[in-house]
A and B are shown apart, each in its own frame.
Chain A
Amino acid sequence: MPSYSRVTLVLLALGFAALALFPLVGETFYIRFFTKIMIYALFAMSLDLLVGYAGLVSLGHAAFFGVATYTVAGFIDKLGIADGFLILPAALAVAAICAAVIGWISIRTTGVYFIMITLALAQMLYYFFNDQLYWGGTDGMNISAKPLLALGGFTLVDLSNRVQFYYTALACLVTAFVMLSVLLRSPFGHALVGIRANEGRMRSLGYDVQRYKLVAFVVAGALAGLAGFLESSRATFATPAYLGWHESGHALMIVILGGMGTLYGPILGAFVLLLMEDYFATLTERWLLIEGLFVMAVALLMPEGLAGLPRRIAALRRRAPENGDG
């Protein structure tokens, strides 16, 4: 139910505009890197729909991201079909179907149960790809080509061109952001937030609570699939690690660092976390040590994330003079 303040809207517009202008001035390395960041921002944003709005803390979200990467690999290298207009809907559909099945089982439960079950079921998909030699086992698969986005012989978007890929990722990110914002302003979004606030009341008001949760879970899964489609096209490989629970944990870090329940928070979080990881990695080989400590500090000290910082600072300011008077 995001109704953004005017300041937030202006900042958002400026942020997206800056991203749109970046390839004109940015170095090649950073154009590639920002593309990756935007893909992870999209992935994290889809998780924010669950964590920040529906109150469903999923620790298995990477499964849907990962099955989409394998769908791309399967089409291109198993079936020999490179038509992006076939692969993209297929990747979304596979992710959505997996989300429907996993969601159907796990939304019967709440709280810690839900966390554990989403983790376990995602891990089941992880092992499915990890154990099957057909899918390349632990090494995963190299994808020999990028999906072709062409109509009647005319290439609409050339994904092997890094600038075009950058704008494709940006377009997907903005579209997803607008779409989710609209969705959350609709009666559906209000019902979802209502369920998180008081499930019992929504049920007694006659809402089919389980169905709302399942729809949210499937939408989030399909969007994660879109991110997976982009990621496998970018990296040209698919590995079980994409489905693994460290990927899910990483996405959760992005969501909370940026500020959950805001949709734009995950974009902020993705940029900050991935740039920071990149910087830590230049400092020491043991950068995960720093990242771990950082995440623990965020969990303890910054529950509202970066997006919540202005509000916290404002609250502190407001309190300060009162204390002085008293």
Chain B
Amino acid sequence: MSYFLIQTLNGVQYGFLLFLVASGLTLIFGIMGVINLAHGAFYMVGAYLAWWLAEKTGSLFLAVLMALPVTVLLGLVIERFGIRYLYKRDHLYQVLFTYGLILVLNEAQRVLFGNDVHGVPAPAWLAGTIRLSEAQTYPVYRLFISVTCVGVAAALYLLIQRTRLGMVIRAGATHRDMVAALGFDIARLFMIVFGLGAALAAFAGMIAAPANTVYPGMGDQILILSFVVVVIGGIGSIKGAFAGAMLVGVADTFGRVLLPQGAGVTVYAVMALVLLWRPQGLFGRTA
């Protein structure tokens, strides 16, 4: 029974992480109409920065504090000098541009940090475990990830639903020209959204680093799973991203335990089933 509980906790925790990555992806698409393949690469950048800075400073929290502005800046620069010119173009060119960006970021990571797999120690006060039964324990750090993600999700919700900036973002998603006509700087708004999305993915990479490991190409897998999440939830819907992330997180975790030979396939099978039932995703609007 507690074994089942542990797997559920793992699944939910993984789901929360996926949600952080996928919410940025769905936000960028929903508001800017841009498909960003390099979103997973931001996750990787976050994880590597966290590992590197944690090793230098000896503190993961300090590392996150220092790395976050760097990733926001990275997102802003990429938007300003690349993505900005692709808003009005076919998605095909966005795919190609951000695919090239993946190659560059992946290769830059190899140049700067090498090919090795690295572990990041959890902060001492989170390094313990919780005893669930006689034989089984659950690491405190994983619980911490879930709690942090809930906090970030709540902050994101408040930002979008309750602040002036959020109001403009929501309006910009559906009535771009009207918002521009009312005097808001759409270009700056999009830059902010892209920076925010990049930071969300990078932050997920940072806090996941101690629970998983840091390795080359780690962004690819999370990107594709985030796509699955977004497709299941419905593109542009944060609520959908949350539902999709939980479904994928739990399905993936149980798939690995119950069907080791078909582990990778489970999630995609779930996606295909959802699509046959609702082609526009769980919370998607019909196109």
Contact = CB atoms under 8 A, between A and B. Distances in A.
Interface stretch (A158-166, A170-178, A179-187, A290-298): A290-298
Nearest to B85: A300
Contacts of B99: 249, 252-253, 295
B265 A286 contact: no
Q: Which of B268, B280, B287 has the most C-beta atoms of chain A within 10 angstroms of its own C-beta?
A: B268
A120 B214 CA distance: 23
A220 to B, nearest CB: 16
Interface string A89-128: 0000000000000000100111111011101110110111
A128 B82 contact: no
Contact of A131 (B29, B104, B261, B287): B261
Contacts of B102: 292
Interface residue SS majority, chain A: helix
Interface string B85-114: 110011111111101111111111011000
B215 interface: no
Interface string B5-40: 000000000000000000000000100000101000
A51 interface: yes
Interface in A242-270: 245, 249, 252-253, 256, 260
A108 B275 contact: yes
B54 to A, nearest CB: 26
A123 B224 contact: yes
Given A59-B95, A120-B224, A112 B35 contact: yes
Interface residue SS majority, chain B: helix
B153 interface: no
B243 interface: no
Given A110-B287, A120-B227, A299-B86, A115 B264 contact: no
B83 to A, nearest CB: 10
Contacts of A112: 29, 35, 91, 235
B85 A124 contact: no
A117 B114 CA distance: 33
A132 B261 contact: yes
B279 interface: yes
B264 A300 contact: no
Contacts of B231: 113, 116-117, 120
Given A128-B265, A298-B96, A117 B101 contact: no
A109 to B, nearest CB: 6
Given A116-B227, A296-B97, A121 B272 contact: yes
Contacts of B224: 119-120, 123, 245
A315 interface: no
A230 interface: no
B276 A127 contact: no
B108 A289 contact: yes
11 contacts: A111-B287, A113-B231, A120-B228, A121-B268, A126-B264, A127-B264, A252-B96, A253-B99, A256-B96, A288-B107, A303-B93
Interface of A: 51, 57, 59, 105, 108-113, 115-117, 119-121, 123-124, 126-128, 130-133, 245, 249, 252-253, 256, 260, 286, 288-289, 291-296, 298-300, 303
Given A51-B92, A292-B100, 5 more contacts: A116-B227, A132-B261, A245-B220, A292-B104, A299-B86
Interface of B: 29, 35, 37, 82, 85-86, 89-97, 99-108, 110-111, 220, 224, 227-228, 230-231, 235, 260-265, 268-269, 271-272, 275-276, 279-280, 287
